[in-house]
Amino acid sequence: MNKALLIALVFLMSLPTFAQKKSKEHLKKEASVKEYIWSEKKDFSAITIPADLEDQSAITLFREVKYIYNRPHNSIEYTKIEHEQVKLLDQVAVNDFSEFKFQKTAHIQGLLNTFILGVKIIKPDGEEIQIDVDNEAIKEEDENKLAIPNLEKGDILDYYFYSNIIVSENDLYQFDAVEDIVGEHYPILDFKFSLETEKDFFVSLNTYNNAPELETYAALSKENKTRLYGFKMQNVASNDFPRWFYPLVALPAYKFQVLFARTRKHEKRANAFMPTDVNTIKKDINKEEIFNLYEDKFSPYGNLGDVERFLKGKDFLNDEHKVTEAFYFIRHKYFTNYVEAFVLDESDIMYPYGYYKNPIIFNSDAQFIKFFAAFLKDNKIDYEILIGTKRYNGLIKDLLLEDNVDFVLKILTENPLYIEHFNQFSTVNQISSLLENSKAYALKVVDRKHIEDIQLTSLPASNHNINNTTESIAITLEEDFSGMQINRMSATTGHNKVDAQKDRLNFYDYIYKDHKKYGTEPVLDQVKKEKDRLRYKKEYKSLLDKQKEKQLKELEKQTESEYDLEIEDYTFNVLNNGRFGVEDPLEFEEAFTLKEELIRKAGNNYILLIGKLIGGQADIDEEHKQRDNNVYMNYPRSYSNNISLTIPEGYSVQGLEKLNKNVQNQTGGFTSEAVVTDNVLTIKTNKYYQNYFEPAANWPDMVSFLEEAYLFYEGKILLKKN
């Protein structure tokens, strides 16, 4: 079931087979955990299920999530307890909760990880049946499985997952940050969250999106070595997690980070936002704290020899031009230059790294930023480092977890340039769509070296014209109307291009262009011994041939799925990789045939389901035309089509009026225009999403243009015999 999986995922690692026999200590722990969680007997008969929830599949009567951080015998101990009481109202719920999979207690990377599952069933008459998990569970190689016995509709399943890790003594130990929403697929009547720590643990913790304020159940003091914080919430609605939705922004949630540090000095080494005083729970962070954490982290660093040689003797229009060219050079020199080597290594053809004198490969964004800062400093170009957070995490002012931070380099040329990622496709001014259009902090760099100030700023936004996909489709009908030949030219720019490049390009489509452009030598050409070189090249060619064959099949499948139609005689050809700028398009052409699926015989005439050629459209069914949740999208975008069809001789077209559509509003639009000129039918369509975000109140506007696009998709024309 889902829940079990979630728990397991947190610690998902491969485990060595671990002694099956449980230690005395483990048994003692099991007993004490059970006592801790189930000591209080609850009167379930006192709970009445609200009338509006009676048709649910199941209701969570009670859910508690508790984290405990403490220090037994100088160790550091982490405990997580999830405890739920679920009333199963139909057979589906019984099936959903009838099988549990859970981690085995084991040593993982040298740490003892203890997992305990407790299950009992409360029958409608109040009878409690405790499941003997130890005896009933099946111990498999890497997990335990439990089929819950005696479970029936109407029962309450009361279960807990207890997980515990003991970390040996450390000066500093940073636990994984936690962020979660309160709600689930089933409604919850009663929810409780708590975090318990002993002293020496630094804690940042807060609640968001109308979750209740944190309460202090117990604070640290001289007498009190343990503190307890948390909140309670009643009647948490279920959520279906619809399309275009950011749960951590929309639903009650909590986030926290815990750190063990022996002293304040140790704490400073942590990569997290932490309170200065161990007794305080940190609920938010201010500019200064961000400044303090990052002030030293991006000092310019790197050997600029390669870049200098590249720049030498070249004329640039301005600094923007220079920075841009230098970036693409660096992208190649320290990344795509090595892609062939990665491939050769991974496919066991040869060990390539010995052929490089001193390979420098950037594999973290931070490494790149330091290097690029060094380049900027050397060239006396000012810059800032922007600290942002992806929009699905919430607003930057609510930032609490270092994990949620992303960096963007802003270069202060006349028109500022933004650089974020460092990978084979990253281009200047293309930052993550999820960071765009949000607030960020700017770390002000003085003398191009020292970070001296921090200010609130905005990250740029893109628009639907830039994030565009345009498909030009030329249709040629078979003479006997048994099918059609399609030639399609696609061009994508902006964020639409990002996924398209991943889907449509393989490394060999661009790395050799880079080698040529920058005059570098692929590693295979550096192999001196001819016999070896020939053999490696032969094996490498086999690998590429196989990959190209596979790629073509995958591309064909992808195009098939766009149309939801079977296609044949597929060919594909890349025209432009689109790797040198946001507006540098990825362009490719495809040709294929479609059998009669889009052609309907109508007496002597033919109906052509021409709308289907714009590809599948968002289909909002009746149930989803109502929406209470706000709409969170990754970026504004547009999809354009230019379809042309030469009308077969002896036929004329009818029904064009239904293909002319125009619905445009504040949220976006769909427009289409169909005209016949010189016996050629031309249809132009454009669908666009105007914004990143729409309040739920604007949903009907969105539905109206999405519906119009769907109607077009179902549109037909009649080819009438003259």
Partner 1 sequence: MDPTPEDVSKAKELRSIYDEEDIVLLESDNLVTFAIEDNKVAVNNYTTEHLMNINYRSDIQKPIFYDGESKIEKFQFYYRNKKEARILSKDVSYTDNDLFHNDARVKFANVDFPTQGYTYFFESIKHTKDIKYFTSIYFTSEYPSLSRKIVIEIPEWLHIELFEKNFENFDIQKTEEQVGDKKIITYQVSNLDAYYDEKSSPGPSYIYPHVLLLAKDFTYKGEKQILFNETKDLYTWYRSLTKDINTDSELLTQKVTELTAGATSDEEKIKNIYYWVQDNIRYIAFEDGIAGFKPETAENVLKKRYGDCKGMANLAKEMLVIAGFDARLTWIGTKRIAYNYSTPSLAVDNHMICTLLQDGKKIFLDPTEKFNAFGEYAERIQGKQSMIEDNDSFLLEEVPTSTSSRNKESFLFNATITNEEIEGLASRAYEGESRADFLYNFNNLKSNKKQEALKNYLASYNRNVLISDIETSNLENREAKIDVNYALKHSNAVSSFDNEMYIDLDFYKEFDNYTFEERQTNYNFAYKKDVLTEMRLKIPETYTVSTLPESFSVDTDNFKISVSLEKESDYIVYKKEFEIKKATITTADFEAWNAAITKLNAIYNEQIILTKS
Q: Which residues bind to partner 1, rule: CB under 8 A?
A: 55-57, 89-95, 98-99, 138, 140-142, 145, 147, 149-152, 347-349, 535, 538-539, 541-543, 545-546, 549, 596-597, 599-603, 607, 619, 621-623, 654-655, 710, 714, 716, 718, 720
Q: How far is the CB of 149 from partner 1 (least distance, A)?
A: 3
Pairing of strands 417-419, 405-411: antiparallel
Among residues 234, 237, 241, 182, the alpha carbon closest in space to that of 207 is found at 182
Pick 90 or 403: Cβ nearer partner 1: 90
Pick 368 or 710: Cβ nearer partner 1: 710
Q: How far is the CB of 89 from partner 1 (least distance, A)?
A: 6
Overall residue count recorded for the chain in this entry: 722
Nearest 5°: CA angle at 426, between 425 and 427?
115
- Rounded distance between C-alpha atoms, residue 10 and residue 204, angstroms: 20
Q: How far is the CB of 227 from partner 1 (least distance, A)?
A: 41
**231 contacts 212 by C-beta, under 8 angstroms:** yes
Q: How far is the CB of 92 from partner 1 (least distance, A)?
A: 5
For residue 266, CA distances in Å to 173, 200, 275, 292, 402 come to 9, 11, 13, 15, 17
Helix (H), strand (E), coil (C) string for 521-586: CCHHHHCCCHHHHHHHHHHHHHHHHHHHHHHHHHHHHHHHHHHCCCEEEEEEEEEECCCCCCCCCE
Q: How far is the CB of 598 from partner 1 (least distance, A)?
A: 10
Pick 97 or 327: Cβ nearer partner 1: 97
- Rounded distance between C-alpha atoms, residue 587 and residue 490, angstroms: 6
Among residues 232, 197, 226, 190, the alpha carbon closest in space to that of 211 is found at 232
- Rounded distance between C-alpha atoms, residue 428 and residue 390, angstroms: 19
Pick 309 or 553: Cβ nearer partner 1: 553
For residue 608, CA distances in Å to 193, 565, 591, 596, 658 come to 59, 14, 19, 10, 13
Pick 133 or 151: Cβ nearer partner 1: 151
Q: How far is the CB of 612 from partner 1 (least distance, A)?
A: 12
Pick 347 or 506: Cβ nearer partner 1: 347
- Rounded distance between C-alpha atoms, residue 576 and residue 491, angstroms: 9
Pairing of strands 637-646, 468-477: parallel
Q: How far is the CB of 599 from partner 1 (least distance, A)?
A: 7
Pick 182 or 653: Cβ nearer partner 1: 653
Residue 280, exposed/middle/buried by CB under 10 A (0-12, 13-18, 19+)?
middle
Pick 304 or 544: Cβ nearer partner 1: 544
Task: HSE, CB side, 13 Å, CA atoms: give it for residue 678.
Answer: 1
Q: What would the two tokens of residue 198 be?
A: 């002993």
Q: How far is the CB of 198 from partner 1 (least distance, A)?
A: 40
Pick 358 or 604: Cβ nearer partner 1: 604
Pick 209 or 652: Cβ nearer partner 1: 652
Pick 81 or 89: Cβ nearer partner 1: 89
Q: How far is the CB of 147 from partner 1 (least distance, A)?
A: 5
**611 contacts 473 by C-beta, under 8 angstroms:** no
Q: How far is the CB of 718 from partner 1 (least distance, A)?
A: 4
Q: How far is the CB of 277 from partner 1 (least distance, A)?
A: 49
Strand, coil or helix: 658? helix
Give the DSSP H/E element, type plus range, for residue 99.
strand 99-102
